[in-house]
Chains A and B, each alone.
Chain A
Amino acid sequence: MQHAPPPARRSAPDRVGLAVVGAILLSLTILGGNIWLNMQAAGVTPGYGFLSQTAGFDLSESLIPYDAGDSYGRVILAGLLNTVFLAICGLVLATGLGVVMGLVSVTPSPAGRMIALLYVELFRNLPKILVLLVLYVVAVRGLPPVREALSIGPLHLTNRSIYMPAIEADARQLWLLLPLAAAVAVAVLWHRHARRIKRDTGRDIVVLPVILAAIIGLPLIFAVLADTPLVPSLPEFRRFDFDGGARLSVQFIVVLVTLGLYHGAQIAEVVRGGILSVPQGQVEAARALGLTPRHVTRFVVLPQVLRIVIPPMINQYVNLIKNTSIAIAVGYSDLMSISGTIINQTFRPLEMMLVTMGLYLGLCLVASSLMNRLNDRLRARGAGGAA
């Protein structure tokens, strides 16, 4: 006998859930009320009006023009930009170090494997804050004061900053973004064109040189034609301090190196796992089919390694962004240490922590969704290629 399918059950509203969430919200409201009372007692009214007040403290470094007379809002923006800058440099350094050490850990060389193992184990078993504090003490004590700067060519190392040559900033340089955008467009179009030709005729045409030429050449031609000022500036010692060029504080360098070493070790493990996961038989089979070693890496090993490695890599990158906040321990002016300073000055911990956590959450969400989209596209293309 055939049973009729049971009638679709309308799911009852989740009364218990609503009640629990309601209770949580109620207790949060009570806690919020306490905050209000406590702040009133201290003579402060909660609110975000203070963001437009004068901050009154100076920053050791900032990517945007900033002085002590600017508002709290602007100092938070400067801190956010410093955090982003630190995170981007950290990603590059950690990825480079991690990939190299990951590759070294699978070489046949026993010495190489041992070094890679020691590196990974050391930095996976030490707290990052300890690494940071040690590097900071070593840098501040080991590097000379500014008068006796350790100079390597145009680089000058001191115990406060590192000075290097740069190009003098000028507002007109912003126009260079136009040809750069055009170059990126050219590169994308040329890449598609090459793919189409490859699909239709099987011929390979030059891709990388064209793209490089566009990205370097177009802005260069534009700069010459439009007479954009690109004046190199070298750091020079004047009486008390270096002048000209660019400077990175020791705090920045130390945090950057810590993040690079710490996450480099994690990334090395990820890379190692990815490479070891490709069975040796596949490499041998591909070789037996007559593929060159380069093609084996390009078409057999790398696609599989990337597939395994990218998701944990995204995880590492998001962790790295969050871990930039350890900069507060040495006083690099990142988002976290600036919000700490503001809390001390204004007695507005609730407002400032909401802003700070929101910004970090936003940064992490933006970064992870960008990288996940990239990953999806890579996967889709890999699947299309296999079909």
Chain B
Amino acid sequence: MIPPNPPPEARSDILRQWAGTPVTALVSLVSAAVAISVTWALVDWAVISAVSPTRPIEECAGASGACWRFYLEKSRFMLFGTYPYAEHWRPALVSLLLLALSALVGLRITGRLRWLRPRMLLALWAGVIPMAFVLMGGGWTGLLAVDMSRWNGMPVLLILSVIAIALAFPLGVALAVLRHQTRRPVLRRAALVYIEGMRGIPMVTVLFVGVFVLPLTLPPDTRISPVMATLIALVFFHASYFAEDVRGGLQSLPVSQQEAAFSLGLSRGKTMRLVLLPQALSRSLPALVNSVIGAYKDTSLVVVLGIHDLTSTARMAFSEPGWGQFALEAYAFVGAWFLLSCAFLSWVGRELHRNQGARRR
């Protein structure tokens, strides 16, 4: 009997990974080329062709890379815009407060900081939100009054994202409950129409309604600033997205939960508040975090309404005559901020997924 041929030696793993088939080889080749050229372009822009911040800004005129001096001269403007210069500590403090509070919430829902009770967080929100407006607006306790039209940059971005999301959340939960329950069909229908209608139109149209139609609905001779109008519009818009996420959580609960709660003698309201909602919320957290990331990023759409959030102040920073060449530097600043802050939010989302996976197993 002829012994069978021994199988050929297995190719080394690295080779198989990079070029196991012709298609894989092509993908590797193209990707490597793209990776190298992108890395090279970045390094060239940020280091090799860049002008160091110690050189005067005039030297940037001929350079093809980043002008780091630009950040020295303009970061404060990009952060706070035309807010009175001597009062910059106020928008800075507001931004820090809102960021810190958001970070606390993010850490808490991933299971850290257990000592922080939800009730304490609620109290913090209730304190920080009015405080943000008082600090920014001033006008009493000796603070210089600053008109809302001069609220610019980072604090506006955070007010319109963090505060809008915080206010939209309870509204979204209420809408989800209304759409989920069956006892009041008229309210159920109304919630459905509202949620589906809002989700079927672009955010820009809602912002336009806020800025152009909302002021008209007020009694004659009353005014509302564009920032406030936008905030209100955003609350109503985001609520519809949160409502769908929470409803997803409510729907995923087994009916037996409700039946068990009823048979224990809990009323409908208590069943919802004590049994169904807590479970539904924790199940819908990953989806909610996704919606929050979307809402946060989309906040910068307010640029089209002439509201000066971070993206808009960056644009202002290079719109002055003579500064036009620094457009990329200015946008890179905004991009870096969003990459950083969204990285935190994405991390929260991943942690939630991991925790839930662990709990199910």
Q: Is A350 an interface residue (CB 8 A)?
A: yes
Binds B, one of A15-23, A64-72, A234-242: A15-23
A108 and B200 alpha carbons, distance in the complex (Å): 39
Q: Are B220 and A34 in contact (CB under 8 A)?
A: yes
Q: Are A329 and B303 in contact (CB under 8 A)?
A: yes
CB neighbours of B31 from chain A (8 A):
104, 109, 111-112, 114-115
Binds B, one of A176-184, A320-328, A379-387: A320-328
CB neighbours of B19 from chain A (8 A):
109
Q: Is B127 an interface residue (CB 8 A)?
A: no
Q: Are B213 and A349 in contact (CB under 8 A)?
A: yes
User: How far, in Å, is B246 (CB) from chain A's closest CB?
Assistant: 18
Q: Are B311 and A350 in contact (CB under 8 A)?
A: no
CB neighbours of A108 from chain B (8 A):
16-18, 20, 24
Q: With a 10 A CB-CB cut-off, give which of A20, A108, A122 has the most chain B CB atoms.
A: A108
Q: Is B46 an interface residue (CB 8 A)?
A: no
With contact pairs A34-B219, A115-B35, A353-B208 given, residues A17 and B187 touching in the complex (Cβ less than 8 Å):
yes
Q: Are B343 and A326 in contact (CB under 8 A)?
A: no
Q: Are A364 and B200 in contact (CB under 8 A)?
A: yes
A82 and B241 alpha carbons, distance in the complex (Å): 27
Q: Are A336 and B202 in contact (CB under 8 A)?
A: yes
As a 0/1 sequence over residues 107 to 145 of chain A, the CB contacts with chain B under 8 angstroms (1 = contact) are 111111011000001101111111001100110010000
Q: Are B327 and A137 in contact (CB under 8 A)?
A: yes
Q: Is B101 an interface residue (CB 8 A)?
A: no
Q: Is B123 an interface residue (CB 8 A)?
A: no
Binds A, one of B134-142, B248-256, B331-339: B331-339
Q: Are B338 and A127 in contact (CB under 8 A)?
A: yes
CB neighbours of B204 from chain A (8 A):
325-326, 328, 336
CB neighbours of A34 from chain B (8 A):
216-220
Q: Are A360 and B20 in contact (CB under 8 A)?
A: no
User: How far, in Å, is B301 (CB) from chain A's closest CB?
Assistant: 5
As a 0/1 sequence over residues 328 to 348 of chain A, the CB contacts with chain B under 8 angstroms (1 = contact) are 110000001001100100000
Q: Is B197 an interface residue (CB 8 A)?
A: yes
A356 and B346 alpha carbons, distance in the complex (Å): 34
CB neighbours of A110 from chain B (8 A):
17-18, 28
Q: Is B323 an interface residue (CB 8 A)?
A: no
Q: Is B342 an interface residue (CB 8 A)?
A: yes
Q: Is A210 an interface residue (CB 8 A)?
A: no
A338 and B140 alpha carbons, distance in the complex (Å): 43
User: How far, in Å, is B326 (CB) from chain A's closest CB?
Assistant: 11
With contact pairs A17-B186, A326-B301 given, residues A129 and B28 touching in the complex (Cβ less than 8 Å):
no
Q: Are B219 and A126 in contact (CB under 8 A)?
A: no
Q: Are B346 and A35 in contact (CB under 8 A)?
A: no
As a 0/1 sequence over residues 178 to 205 of chain A, the CB contacts with chain B under 8 angstroms (1 = contact) are 0000000000000000000000000000
A326 and B311 alpha carbons, distance in the complex (Å): 14
Name the CB-closest residue of B to A122: B339
As a 0/1 sequence over residues 272 to 292 of chain A, the CB contacts with chain B under 8 angstroms (1 = contact) are 000000000000000000000
Q: Are A35 and B202 in contact (CB under 8 A)?
A: no
As a 0/1 sequence over residues 281 to 306 of chain A, the CB contacts with chain B under 8 angstroms (1 = contact) are 00000000000000000000000000
Among A131-180, those with CB < 8 Å from B are: 133-134, 137-138, 141
CB neighbours of A18 from chain B (8 A):
186
Q: Are B28 and A111 in contact (CB under 8 A)?
A: yes
CB neighbours of A125 from chain B (8 A):
293, 297, 338-339, 342-343, 346
CB neighbours of B131 from chain A (8 A):
none
With contact pairs A16-B184, A34-B217, A115-B35 given, residues A130 and B212 touching in the complex (Cβ less than 8 Å):
no
Among A1-54, those with CB < 8 Å from B are: 11, 14, 16-18, 20-21, 24, 31-32, 34-35, 37-39, 41
CB neighbours of A357 from chain B (8 A):
201, 205, 209
Q: Are A322 and B218 in contact (CB under 8 A)?
A: no
CB neighbours of B16 from chain A (8 A):
108
CB neighbours of A324 from chain B (8 A):
202
User: How far, in Å, is A332 (CB) from chain B's closest CB?
Assistant: 12
A328 and B185 alpha carbons, distance in the complex (Å): 39
Q: Are B190 and A24 in contact (CB under 8 A)?
A: yes
Q: Is A361 an interface residue (CB 8 A)?
A: yes
With contact pairs A111-B35, A115-B31 given, residues A130 and B334 touching in the complex (Cβ less than 8 Å):
yes
Name the CB-closest residue of B to A343: B212
Q: Is B300 an interface residue (CB 8 A)?
A: yes
Q: Are A39 and B216 in contact (CB under 8 A)?
A: yes
A115 and B34 alpha carbons, distance in the complex (Å): 8
Can you name 13 A-B residue pairings with CB atoms under 8 Å?
Answer: A108-B16, A109-B17, A109-B19, A109-B25, A125-B346, A128-B297, A322-B202, A325-B204, A329-B301, A350-B216, A356-B205, A360-B205, A361-B200
3 closest cross-chain pairs (CB), A and B? A17-B186, A349-B212, A125-B342
Other contacts beyond A14-B184, A353-B205: 10, CB < 8 A: A21-B186, A24-B190, A37-B220, A107-B24, A108-B20, A108-B24, A111-B31, A124-B342, A124-B346, A339-B208
